[in-house]
Amino acid sequence: MASYDVIVIGSGPGGYVAAIRCAQLGLKTACVEGRDTLGGTCLNVGCIPSKALLHASHQLHEAEHNFAAMGLKGKAPSVDWKQMLTYKDDVIGQNTKGIEFLFKKNKIDWIKGWGSIPEAGKVKVGDEVHDAKNIIVASGSEPSSIPNVEIDEKVVVSSTGALELSKVPKKLVVIGAGVIGLELGSVYARLGSQVEVIEFLDKITPTMDGEVSKGFQRLLKKQGLNFTLGAAVQGVEATKTKAKVTYKLRKDDSEHTVDADVVLVATGRKAYTDGLGLQALGVEMTDRGVIRTDKQWATNVPGIYAIGDAIEGPMLAHKAEDEGMAVAEVIAGKAGHVNYNVIPSVIYTHPEVASVGQTEEQLKEAGRAYKVGKFSFMGNGRAKAVFAGDGFVKILADKETDRILGAHIIGPAAGDLIHEVCVAMEFGASAEDLALTCHAHPTFSEAVREAALACGDGPIHA
């Protein structure tokens, strides 16, 4: 048994970042993790492995589609799936070991095992009970399913199973056209699977700006993904090698079935708080089943804080990280802060899709007067040189003040480009501020500047 200033439960991006910042601020810190490796969902079965597979499958796509045009001749590479999984596992290993190194460097104790909170100020792991002046719950989330769909992680899989299938399926049905379903769907489409995406709503990625969502669907279709929208899945019947998905089209209630070798259930994630003992402690939860916190991440029980996927807000690694840093600062008596209006979200398909701030639909609904500046990557020399002319940058700015209200990008490196708009928004910049900033040529970022110019006197290359 040991005594700590802070014990963090969970070592995902929320938990490990909180632990590191607490230690940096001079607090004696431990982090409890039940998995065999640190890093949580993100490093083990989320962001990192999915990006490794997206990268590998994108290289194949480049070789098959663009190499010959650039004068790169020779046999196109074939897929060694086992080796691709080994590469993915190596990437995971390097990253999780990296967190272990950072824990040692910052003198953070990793308490191995599943933790619970028998009472405020105490964390129990196995038979040991540790004292903690402050406890940060960063227990994350787990995949959620829908009625009549049982996940076996072999034929009917969650994202976790989809990252380690025994082989590339001939036919993959993805239930849910959100970020995770589309990223993993496009991995398998590039590797040769026939991919069918079934979505309940009438559009893909429903929270995204409507124009971007439409353009994105068109591009994914061109890459071979098929979409059935407005379809309510009724159930999945599975054998050891096959599955049958039954759905009803919402427009006419007609029932349909589709066969698959693998079904990926990507219908969202739910907070994971099992075994922590929160109910017995009287920690308040919201109606959506996540831990309720105040603006400083404190629960209603003194000394217990919560962050990341286990609380309200977008289930994103960087949101969890920001909360991790901020809650550490609050505990250390400083002013921790997260600006929830400027949290970017990215889909790492090809092209990438990225957004920050408000969508056009949200501005319309709020009755806010706004202007739109748009620029197509077809007018960007660098994008055309690398076969990446598909997509556009769209900047939304206040009609009167020109203050940037949101940005939506579909195109090359969108996930990186969005950050110049994030920084601009943090500083309360106008579209003109972006437009007057010199951007190096030839870069994709010139498209962001051109979209900002389009909010004023107009872009140059359109």
Please report, as ranges, the residues that interact with ligand FAD according to CB under 6 A.
Answer: 9-15, 32-35, 40-42, 46-47, 50, 114-115, 138-141, 159, 180, 272, 275-276, 308-310, 315-318, 320, 348
- Binding site annotation covers 51? yes
- Binding site annotation covers 199? yes
CB neighbour list of residue 204: distance below 8 Å, 6 or more residues apart:
177, 182, 197, 213, 216, 217, 220, 227, 229
Give the start-end residues of each E strand in 239-331. 243-249, 255-260, 262-265, 269-271, 304-306
| Least distance between ligand FAD and beta carbon 377 (Å) | 22
- Binding site annotation covers 168? no
Compare residues 271 and 452 and give the one whose CB is closer to ligand FAD: 271
Compare residues 306 and 453 and give the one whose CB is closer to ligand FAD: 306
| Least distance between ligand FAD and beta carbon 57 (Å) | 14
Query: Which tokens in the block code for residue 226?
Result: 């098929």
Compare residues 152 and 255 and give the one whose CB is closer to ligand FAD: 152
Residue type, 260: A
Q: CA-based angle 372:375:379, to the nearest 5?
A: 165
Output phi, psi for 122, to 5 deg: -135, 140
- 66, 387 Cβ separation under 8 angstroms: yes
| Least distance between ligand FAD and beta carbon 391 (Å) | 19
Cα–Cα distance between 212 and 361 in angstroms, integer? 11
Compare residues 144 and 362 and give the one whose CB is closer to ligand FAD: 144
Residues classed as catalytic: 441
Cα–Cα distance between 158 and 294 in angstroms, integer? 32
| Least distance between ligand FAD and beta carbon 114 (Å) | 4
- Binding site annotation covers 308? no
| Least distance between ligand FAD and beta carbon 47 (Å) | 4
| Least distance between ligand FAD and beta carbon 68 (Å) | 31
| Least distance between ligand FAD and beta carbon 50 (Å) | 4
Length of the chain: 462
Compare residues 338 and 451 and give the one whose CB is closer to ligand FAD: 338
Compare residues 351 and 459 and give the one whose CB is closer to ligand FAD: 351
- Binding site annotation covers 142? no
- Binding site annotation covers 181? yes
Supply the DSSP string of 140-204, one letter for each residue: -EEE---TT----SSSEE-HHHHTT-SS--SEEEEE--SHHHHHHHHHHHHTT-EEEEE-SSSSS
- Binding site annotation covers 201? no
Query: Which tokens in the block code for residue 164?
Result: 């380690």
- Binding site annotation covers 315? yes
Output phi, psi for 244, to 5 deg: -130, 125
- 243, 262 Cβ separation under 8 angstroms: yes
Cα–Cα distance between 282 and 284 in angstroms, integer? 6
Compare residues 115 and 336 and give the one whose CB is closer to ligand FAD: 115
Neighbours of 87 (CB within 10 A): 15
Helix axes 81-105, 47-65, angle to 10 degrees: 140
Specify binding-site residues for FAD.
51, 115, 309, 315-318
Binding residues: 51, 115, 176-183, 199, 268, 309, 315-318
Binding site membership for NAD(+): which residues?
Answer: 176-183, 199, 268
